[in-house]
A and B are shown apart, each in its own frame.
Chain A
Amino acid sequence: MSEKTGNILRAALFLIALAFVAAGVSRGEMSTVLRKAVTVCLECIGIG
């Protein structure tokens, strides 16, 4: 992969990543993560 191709690919993927984060935040995924993370995850610890 040439340096130019690599830079274009990287920039495109960065933009996609930013768009993904923005889309996820706008549809409330952050609160889903928060809700799960502030209580003890029973599956994680082997109870649930």
Chain B
Amino acid sequence: MADRRRVIQWIALIANNAYLKGFAEGRVYRGSLKSICVPGLNCYSCPGAAASCPLGALQAVLGDYRYKFSFYVVGLMMGFGLVFGRLICGFLCPFGLMQELFYKIPSRKAAGSGARWLRWGKYVTLAVFVIAIPVFFRGDLGIGEPAFCKYICPAGTITAGLPLVAAQPSLREAAGGLFAFKVFAAAAIAAACVVIYRFFCKFLCPLGAFYGFFNRIALYRMSCDGNSCVRCGACSRVCRMGVDPSREPDSAECIRCGDCLKACPSSALGAGFEFVRKGGAKDAGECARG
């Protein structure tokens, strides 16, 4: 499962950034595909980006003086969430893969999965930086700034800022205090990802916060069969997102990596798209009650 997942993650990363010419020329793709959003976090200013980042697109529309809500981007994100839930985080998000690669760097790893209250950070980021600031804090021209992209997003700095600033002398000259801050913030997040598994997903990612709402009702779900579960706790011990899949198989924190499915000695856990799900039980809460 893990190997298959890694292959899919790489395919998703390459598909998201298929405009290879952009890397060679230090320019962004300007075709019409950019009007469509990909499901994962992938900055549209990355020279290779073939489509748009949903968070960037959402802030672009919310910050436009003509709009206060983006039906288009929210509708797309709802559609993605309803089909996949946070399977997107585990399989399709390019920055999710990057975080897992950072975590492979040899170092002392943090015990546990991090303080639970800190996980509210991603909901705060979604509410404040992605929605409130672009909508309510507008400049003289009525344009709101994309605060998440501007002050937080490490994907923008790592995959777009650094390559473009390296390639274009004019951007190098323009880079100042904000660029230095963003590089520092991205470095800090990357360093945190080295010691804490998917630090950004757990504590900061607004996209994960949004898709987490859909884990319970998405077509892709997990379940636990109380008759087969031997309550050994292997699933919760192996989960690096701090979830107990036997109690909360559809937790908003679960990124559907599948580690628990492999660890379960009795095949009590099942996962899959509705109607084709194998193993587990139809009732998601069965293990907890059993």
Cα separation A42 to B78 with both chains bound (whole Å)? 28
B 42-64 contacts with A by CB, 8 A: 43-45, 49, 51-52, 56-57, 60-61, 64
Known contacts A44-B160, A45-B171; 6 further A-B pairs (Cβ under 8 A): A6-B217, A17-B79, A38-B31, A41-B44, A43-B150, A46-B157
A-B contact pairs, 7 of them (CB 8 A): A17-B79, A21-B71, A34-B52, A37-B28, A37-B44, A44-B161, A48-B178
B63 smallest CB distance to A (angstroms)? 9
Complex: A34 Cα to B61 Cα, angstroms: 10
Residues of B within 8 A of A41 (CB): 43-45, 56, 146, 149, 156, 160
A6 to chain B, nearest CB (A): 6
Contact in complex: B60, A45 (CB < 8 Å): no
Q: Which residues of B, 1-56, contact A by the 8 Å Cβ criterion?
A: 28-32, 34-35, 37, 43-45, 49, 51-52, 56
Query: Total interface residues on B, using CB and 8 Å?
Result: 55
A20 and B74 form a contact (CB under 8 A): yes
List residues of chain A with CB within 8 A of the CB of B57: 33, 36-37
Chain B: minimal CB distance from A1 (Å): 7
B-chain residues with CB within 8 Å of residue A48 when the two chains form the complex = 150, 178
Closest chain B CB from A3 CB (angstroms): 6
User: Contacts of A34 on B, CB cut-off 8 Å?
Assistant: 32, 34-35, 52
Question: Within 8 Å of chain A (Cβ to Cβ): is B120?
Answer: no
Interface residues of A in 1-48 (CB under 8 A from B): 1, 3, 6, 9-10, 13-14, 16-25, 27-34, 36-48
Q: A33 is contacted by which of B30, B72, B145 (Cβ under 8 Å)?
A: B72
Question: Are A1 and B72 in contact, with the CB atoms below 8 A?
Answer: no
Contact (Cβ within 8 A) B171 A47 = yes
Q: Report if B188 contacts A (CB, 8 A).
A: no
Contacts of A21 in B (CB 8 A): 71-72, 75-76, 79
Indicate the member of A19, A34, A46, A47 with the most B CB atoms within 10 Å. Answer: A46
Kindly state the separation between the CA atoms of A17 and B72 in the bound complex, as whole angstroms.
Answer: 9
Complex: how many Å from CA A3 to CA B205?
A: 30
Contact: A13 with B70, CB < 8 Å?
no
A27, closest chain B residue (CB): B71
Check A43 against B72 for contact (C-beta < 8 Å).
no
Q: In the complex, which residue of chain A has the Cβ closest to the Cβ of B285?
A: A1
Residue B67, interface by CB 8 Å: yes
A44 with B30: CB separation less than 8 A: no
When C-beta atoms are compared, the residue in chain B nearest to A35 turns out to be B60
B216 near A: Cβ within 8 Å? yes
A47 is contacted by which of B35, B153, B175, B216 (Cβ under 8 Å)?
A: B175
